[in-house]
Structure 1
Amino acid sequence: MDAREKILDAATTLLAGAPVADVSTRAVCEAAGVGAPMLYRLFGDKAGLLAAVVDRGFEEYLNSKRQARPSADPVADLRAGWDNHLRFALEHPHHYRLMYSPELTVPPAAVEEAHALLGAILERCAVAGRLTVPPALATQMIMSANVGAALSILTRPEQYPDPAFSERLRDAVLDAVTCPADPGKVPGAEPDHAVPVAAATLAARLRAERTPVFTTAESALLEQWLDKLGKSGRSAGGGGGEGETERARVVDET
């Protein structure tokens, strides 16, 4: 086993026995049988070491997500992804808490990849006309809620004893950013999000097809417009709201 693996093994073992998501570089060096210069040469600093520990611990989880085959229902894939995320957090509490520790001044690569994998599913939702907000915003909303639920359960189990808490939060968040495959088949389902859904869908399909219809400048402008429409929410439909006020102001000025 080389020095890098010895250091990572030692840090992982010490982390598992630590009351908080933190270990000292001195303790790691002693446990690994290496000098401090070796640790700093390989990892740069303590934050670099902790980030490497997180990336190593998350590799199995991320690999399972990379190999997961998309189902016919991308929203169902979102639900499964949420549940898998929480399951990993509960099974690997030390790595998970470390991932979101203030000690990590630079997010581990695992954080960025997890966001990218979630974003890819949300792109599929948008292409299918199932997203009511742009994929980037939906990614932020879902990931922050998922991480918040996991950390709350891990750090304050006495305040979150209900095992159904995560599922209820999951459904509330997904209901806020997705819509039925066929709203017309849902009794009383008024398409309040018709414009945002159409905007998010068109933007995603243009990204997926990459059809060279527009110039780079035109594509950037169209993307900006569609993103703004995609974030308009319920205020885009019906009367009143900021859109109506803005139209009235333009009429008065002309």
Structure 2
Amino acid sequence: MSPPAQAAELRRQQNRADARRTILDATESLLAESGLGGFSMRGLVERCGYSAPTIYHYFGDKPGLIDAVLEERLEDLVAQLERAPAKANPVAQARALCLDFARWGIRNPTHYYLMNQPKAHELPPDSAHQKAVDLMSKPLNALIQSGQISEVRLELIRQSLWACLHGLISLPAVQPDFDWNPNLLEASVDVLLAGWLAEFLPSLEFGGGNNVES
């Protein structure tokens, strides 16, 4: 490819990247303002300046566009989970990850809602969503590998944790005017972990406020 052709191709690639970025940023802004129920392609066209056919060219359809926005936000979550300080105790590690995940969901209620909706397209195995699931599962899987908990029992614990975290994330979003106790998240996670795992791991110490020690 000649230098002029290379330069032209680089410009085309940059233009495509700029268009995608503008559309994604406008979508994110509209979702933050109006939620999924108030989001429309007409509003997006007005906000981003690109036509509907152009948007569909880059993202396929509306669900594909929403999935692309969510994937970016989930990449932020994965980075946050990966930064969690390593704990020698797998239960302490699970606690840290649960708290980080819940805080992300509380900060990003619309994205958390989208994450829990049925997907129009099958997610690839290397998606940020799957990476987040794998990171959250890793410390509790260590309990299976060490023979301290059976897979059947651990699946029940996972579902219990998920249900608890879902309530802790969702309720403040639907009832923002309620006077939620600032210690509710940590106290709830600590009590749940203590209730499920103390009998299997009697060496665990639950300190002040039921905090799991590392």
The answer on 1:28 being equivalent to 2:41 is: no
Identity %: 29
SS at match of 1:84: helix
CA spacing shift, 1:53–1:124, aligned 2, 3 Å: same
Counterparts in 2 of 1:183-202, with a 5 A limit? Answer: 183=202
1:57 maps to amino acid: R
Q: What's the CA shift for 1:182?
A: 5.1
1:144 maps to amino acid: A
1:163 pairs, out of 173, 182, 192, with 182
- Cα distance between partner residues in 2 of 1:31 and 1:87: 29
The answer on 1:138 being equivalent to 2:157 is: yes
Q: What's the CA shift for 1:161?
A: 1.6
The answer on 1:124 being equivalent to 2:142 is: yes
Instruction: Give the unaligned 5+ runs of structure 2.
Output: 1-16, 206-214
Given the two structures, how large is their TM-score scaled by the length of structure 2? 0.71
Q: What is the alpha-carbon root mean square deviation over aligned residues? A: 3.0
2:116 maps to amino acid: Y
- The structure having more radius of gyration, on CA atoms, is 1
Q: Which one has more relative contact order, counting CA pairs under 8 Å at least 6 apart?
A: 2
- Cα distance between partner residues in 2 of 1:131 and 1:107: 31
Given the two structures, how large is their TM-score scaled by the length of structure 1? 0.61
Q: What's the CA shift for 1:5?
A: 1.4
SS at match of 1:34: coil
Find the counterpart in structure 1 of residue 30 from structure 2.
14
Verify the 8 A CA contact 1:54 1:99 in the aligned structure 2: yes
2:53 maps to amino acid: P
CA spacing shift, 1:149–1:138, aligned 2, 3 Å: same
Q: What's the CA shift for 1:72?
A: 0.5
SS at match of 1:65: helix
1:179 pairs, out of 198, 206, 211, with 198
Find the counterpart in structure 2 of residue 72 from structure 1.
88
CA spacing shift, 1:19–1:36, aligned 2, 3 Å: closer
- Cα distance between partner residues in 1 of 2:204 and 2:28: 52
- Cα distance between partner residues in 2 of 1:72 and 1:121: 10
CA spacing shift, 1:34–1:166, aligned 2, 3 Å: same
Q: In the TM superposition, what whole-angstrom CA distance separates every residue of 1:32-85 from its partner, at most 9, and x where no partner exists?
A: 221212222222221111111111112122123235453101101111112111
Verify the 8 A CA contact 2:24 2:69 in the aligned structure 1: yes
Q: What's the CA shift for 1:106?
A: 5.1
2:56 pairs, out of 17, 40, 50, with 40
More displaced 10-residue stretch of structure 1: 131-140 or 59-68: 131-140
Q: What's the CA shift for 1:24?
A: 1.0
2:202 maps to amino acid: P
Q: What's the CA shift for 1:12?
A: 0.8
